[in-house]
Structure 1
Amino acid sequence: MNWARNLTFSAARVHRPGSVGELRQIVRNGTQVRAVGSGHSFSPIADTVGDLIRLDGLPRIVEIDRVNSMVTVSAGMHYADIAPEINRAGFALANLAALPHVSVAGACATGTHGSGDTQRCLAAAVAGIQWIGPDGNLNELQKAADPEVFAGSVVALGALGIVTRLTLEIEPAFDLRQRVRQGISLDDVANRFAEIFSAAYSASVFTDWHSGTAMVWLKQRTDQPTVHLQVGEPLSRPVHPTPGISPEACTQQLGVVGPWHERLPHFRAESPMWTGNELQSEYFLPRDQAGPAFSAIREIADLLAPILLVAEVRTVRADDLWLSPAYGRDSVTFHFTWIKNTVKVLPILQVVEERLSRFSARPHWGKITAMTPSDVTAHYQRADGFKNLLRTYDPDGKFRNQFIENHFPDVR
């Protein structure tokens, strides 16, 4: 099962190889092969009826290239594992997801992101990939050597091969302080959107849409000028994004300075990744449509209230990765954490998507959606180019599953 236990995998066999050599043999002998990361996806993107491979048994590698400011890591490692080692070497990743327990390869393959006006999705930090092709042989691709093909091969949904290593861009380590302000009206969020989201290196707005109010989490770098946001009221105690839940698992707030990897995520790396009693959806919209999109969702707030646990709004800088939901446009993301009841959620989800469709919303590859696969891929200008990569790297479809076939049909 996945993290949320809303999916049961169909795999005939599950493997946890202890070496790249063993992994190559599994791939070479398999007919249908998929890799699974931390299992945090809510969609069936990693499922297969053949061989499902867990990568967390591979040797753990964190190799720092100080000269070129790069780090090479094992694909199955989690950000919670690699971040402290990168920090001890005096470096940092530019951004992290809300949850540090996700695997590096899985997060990059699905376009997972953090938040920040100047920050791209996590996959945009990838500078090199090593993966196993359908014949079991190792392949490598470098961004500097072949940027065009590379742009189509990073957010690849696991469909081009089994990734074994990733090389990521890093920068000098930095510290942040995290503060939370509450009681902000949604009118202020919509009307002062640019001001609020530019007030910190990373900013997130949490709301239930129904109350008409929100709180904003501000993660400010200590080596950058401090912006004093004058909306709402500062909180004097730690909080959890979801009302009624203890903040014990959350990263430290109240302006206490800490290293980048202990402040960028919302949740502590040392807190257990419990089984999620929830469902999640998320949509990337053009950033300049944030105001109208706010109005569109607020109009159905009463409809959302019975099934919505919490919603989060973030910003993501544009990138050039073909299947990244932020491809070619600075984005605002609308995230919804629902009760774990698919029967109740899906009809409401259809209403949400009808509202957001006018803004060319792209759903997160790893979340649930009611959109048809053809409607999803219609929002990606390079979808046909990705089909060509499928034909080139996996002509017989060893790494495809029903999810890939539905979104990219007629490849063979």
Structure 2
Amino acid sequence: MTHTRPSGTNWSGNHRYGATETLLPTDLAELAAAISAAESIRVQATRHTFNDIGDTDGSLLSLERLPTRITLDGDRVRVEGLVTFAQLAPVLEAEGRALHNLGSLPHISVVGATATGTHGSGSANGNLSSAVTALEIMDADGQAHRIDSEHAWFPAAVVGLGAFGVVTAVELRTVPTYTVTAQAFTGVAWDDIVADPKRLFASARSVSVFTTWGDPAHDLVWIKETDADAEPDYVTALGGRPVGDDLHLGRIRTVGNTTERGTPGPWHTRLPHFRAEALPSDGDEIQSEYFVPLDAAADALAAVRAVASVIDPVLLVTELRTVAADDLWLSPAYRRDVLAIHFTWRNDNAGVAAVLPTIEAALAPFQPRPHWGKAFTMPGETIRATLPHADDFVAAARAADPRGVFRNDYLRRTLAL
């Protein structure tokens, strides 16, 4: 018999799941039985989302008790179950392999991150989903399917938002291991940041800018560089001064949880902002993020800065990053290099909901795409208008799940699915 537990809340507590229970299968047979008996079901992964994408009025399902297996074969790695990037990375490193990119925190699951287009940073780096070469999915009848790059559903199912079924395994492309040195700088003027955003964000393998929009003394540029970077000294040439041990990301309470800076180390110990063994970020927060074309970065940043006084009361920090284009239909970086404008908010649902329309209106001329797992208020038709294959995605998802077992209010609201 499949055990259950209360569904509880998401990671930061700003969303309480409407489902009354979460099912905990211990093997694929129990998983198949749970799915095939359900009228409505969604997967609860590591719960690092800030909206109802993973909720349902039926039952939630977690893979946390299923076996977790990591199998490396040449340049591909198969990840089964609820494996996090923190668990995967050391296994790859031990075999001399790596991922091309990592998110700002490694605590998230491979399955959940790739399903929502979660990304990491770097003008030449695609998001985490762009490393996917195949998925293994269990459909609403409990049948298993492999969807690889030759499958017609592949560009829809990789960033699939849980609409195609339960992803039981992901296959990723790996690269040879590499060394990264991270350093954070203050002293770079805002005018220099926006004067040539493309050059700044391409100056190292990964570049993040942290700002509160009105306090330039605390603006921070965090770079993660390798020996192959084109302009490793670009930030210092702009007046950047290395930060010492006391690192502050805007108003976030970092409390010694960030990754090491100033010395070289393996990719997985330097690319994330936060250490795997520590609570990431602030914890007591809400997050939003919007992706705009990199070509429009300077104008988009000016538009947000013009409304900074409106958002300031609930803002902890904004992070700016870049992501390379890909061909995944619902990816925020579909067919365009993007600037990601990320907001970490105080954990105030009403306050955040009140300011999001102001940001979305400011960014509207640039056809922003929201992060699927974070807080936004953009109407579904506005989002779909930025995604050329939105209708194709809906058709593929309906073919994969004709009974609608994996659909929920979120998918109906955002994609008319």
| TM-score, length basis structure 2 | 0.94
Q: CA offsets, 1:71-129, max 9 Å, x none? A: 00024111111111111111000001101001111101111010001111111100010
**CA distance in structure 1 between the aligned counterparts of 2:76 and 2:331, rounded to whole angstroms:** 22
Name 1:31's counterpart in structure 2.
Answer: 39
Question: Corresponding residue for 1:310?
Answer: 317
Q: Corresponding residue for 1:396?
A: 403
Cα distance in 1 between the residues matched to 2:183 and 2:253: 18
Summarize deviations over 1:161-180 as a string: whole Å, max 9, x none. 00000000001011100011
Map 1:371-386; keep pairs closer than 5 Å.
371-386=378-393
Equivalence for 2:221? 216
With structure 1 as the length reference, what TM-score do the two structures score? Answer: 0.95
* 8 Å Cα contact 2:254/2:281 also seen in 1: no
Task: Map 1:6-405 to 2 at 5 A.
Answer: 6-66=14-74, 69-143=75-149, 145-146=150-151, 148-212=152-216, 214-222=219-227, 224=229, 227-229=232-234, 230-231=237-238, 232-243=240-251, 245-253=253-261, 255-272=262-279, 276-405=283-412
Q: Using the alignment, how far apart are the partners of 1:260 and 1:138 within structure 2?
A: 34
Partner of 2:12 in structure 1?
Answer: 4
Q: How many Å separate the matches in 2 of 1:159 and 1:4? A: 24
- The answer to whether the 8 Å contact 1:3/1:275 transfers is no
Count of residue correspondences: 405
Q: Which amino acid aligns with 1:102?
A: I
Name which of structure 1's ranges 185-194 and 396-405 shifts more when overlaid on structure 2: 185-194
- Which deviates more from structure 2 when the two are superposed, residues 151-160 or residues 239-248? 239-248
CA deviations 1:175-198 (Å, max 9, x no partner) are 100011112221110003122212
**Contact 1:174 1:223 survives alignment (8 Å):** no
Distance 1:84 1:129 in 2: 22
Whole-angstrom distance in 1 between the partners of 2:252 and 2:32: 47
- 2:5 aligns with none
Distance 1:244 1:102, change over 3 A: closer
* Cα pair 2:274 2:281 within 8 Å, conserved: no
1:343 Cα offset (Å): 1.8
Identity among equivalent pairs (%): 38
Distance 1:64 1:375 in 2: 41
Question: How far off is 1:157 after superposition?
Answer: 0.4
What is the alpha-carbon root mean square deviation over aligned residues?
1.5
Runs of 4+ in 1 over 4 A off after TM superposition: 223-226
Question: 2 CA distance for matches of 1:162 and 1:353?
Answer: 32
How far apart, in 2, do the equivalents of 1:264 and 1:173 lie? 13
Q: 1:57 to 1:127 in 2, by over 3 A?
A: same
SS of residue matched to 2:256: helix
Distance across 2 between alignment mates of 1:226 and 1:262? 22
8 Å contact kept, 1:73–1:165: yes
- Is this contact kept in 1: 2:116–2:371, CA < 8 A? yes
For 1:361 and 1:408, the matched residues in 2 are separated by 16
1:247 to partner: Cα distance: 4.7
Query: For residues 228 and 312 of structure 1, what CA distance do their matches in structure 2 show?
Result: 21
**How far has the Cα of 1:43 moved from its partner?**
1.2
d(CA) in 1 for partners of 2:243, 2:103 = 23
Given that 2:252 and 2:282 are in contact with CA atoms closer than 8 Å, whether structure 1 keeps it comes out as no
1:320·1:327 contact (CA, 8 Å) conserved in 2? yes
Task: Give the Cα–Cα distance (whole angstroms) in 2 for the partners of residues 375 and 219 of structure 1.
Answer: 35
Residues 80 and 269 in structure 1, CA contact (< 8 A), matched pair in contact too: yes
